[in-house]
Amino acid sequence: MTSNYRIIQSTTDFLKENGITSPEILVILGSGQNNCFRNFNLIKSLKYSDIPHFPTSTVKGHKGELQYGSIENKNVLIMNGRFHLYEGYSAKDIAIPIQISKLLGVKILIVTNAAGGINRYFKTGDIIIINDHINLTGQNPLIGPNIEDIGERFTVMNNLYTIEYRNKLVNIAASLGIKVMQGVYAGLLGPNLETGAELTMLKTIGADLVGMSTVAEVVAAKHANMEIVGLSIVTNSEFPGKASDTSHDKVIDVASKAVPNLMKLIEEFIKSI
């Protein structure tokens, strides 16, 4: 047993003692995307800073609040604000909330993010269902002793973003009249934006989206044998050979405009499973 596992266990116990007893789904919301589900019945809200050993969000647009509640008959845990490698957190730190969720009983992870669009068919404000990812962060939450109580040593990456759920989302989006497409998300370390040459590389290796989050969380969730859903909001369009000049304010602004549709989609998805 590693010290990391003791931390995870003690924080799990703390959350149970505070009424977060049986979440089935964990939702991690990205930049400018704090919880605005219409039919969320809040049971308990905790600031990250009040949770022992929980990382805290340092980025503008990330609220830093854990909410537990229900959507219809599903118990949902929502992270309003996430942790990034570029804030100085390790991939293992980023995995902590996912591993705690696993011990609490979570079986499904839904992650959202703001991303740069590389695929030329993706426009600013589009919602994209992530169908695979490329981990270019050079980091991995699973290094070091394996936590056997969470998952196996060697994690397979097949059907990483559950195909059945992607198909479901496509159908739900059509019924709601929301445009969605699918694409590959490349996760980079950041915090600098991409050079022109890096964008050329990303396009060449098959990335449709680029961002600075998600991959460490998803690797940790797959290790924990969760089903995974990933959704990106395209906040800026990028082109091979031309360095990105987007700003965080623009990312937050565009993301927040697409949030109502994103929330509708996730809510209907949760109701449907």
Q: Which of 76, 110, 193, 219 binds ligand HPA (CB under 6 A)?
A: 193
Q: Is 80 among the residues that bind ligand HPA (CB under 6 A)?
A: no
Please report how close the Cβ of residue 252 comes to ligand HPA at its closest, in angstroms: 10
- The residue whose Cβ lies closest to ligand HPA is 116
Nearer to ligand HPA, 79 or 251 (CB): 251
Give 206-209 contacts, CB < 8 A, sequence gap 24+: 206/134, 207/118, 207/134, 208/117, 208/118, 208/119, 208/122, 208/128, 208/183, 208/184, 209/115, 209/116, 209/117, 209/118, 209/119, 209/122, 209/128, 209/130, 209/183, 209/184, 209/185, 209/234
- One-letter amino acid at 94 equals I
Exposed e or buried b per residue across 122-143, where buried means at least 16 C-beta atoms within 10 angstroms of its C-beta = bebebbbbbbbbbbbbebbbbe
Which x/- pattern, by CB under 6 A, does the window 209-228 give for ligand HPA? Answer: -xxx----------------
Quick check: is 84 catalytic?
A: yes
Question: Least CB distance from residue 211 to ligand HPA, whole Å?
Answer: 4
> Does 53 participate in catalysis according to the annotation?
no
Touching ligand HPA, residues 101-140 (CB under 6 A): 114-116
Q: Does the protein bind ligand HPA through residue 29 (CB under 6 A)?
A: no
Q: Which of 86, 131, 159, 243 is catalytic?
A: 86
Residue 121 CA to residue 139 CA, distance in Å, equals 30
Does the annotation mark 223 as catalytic?
A: no
CB atoms within 10 A of CB 175: 8
Question: Is residue 59 within the footprint of ligand HPA (CB under 6 A)?
Answer: no
Return the number of the residue (114 or 262) whose C-beta is nearest ligand HPA.
Answer: 114
For residue 124, what are the CA distances in angstroms to 236, 251, 254? 5, 10, 7
Q: Indicate whether 235 belongs to the interface with ligand HPA (CB under 6 A).
A: yes
Residues binding ligand HPA (CB under 6 A): 114-116, 193-194, 210-212, 235-236, 238, 244, 246, 251
Which positions are annotated as active-site residues? 31, 62, 84, 86-87, 114, 212-213, 236, 248
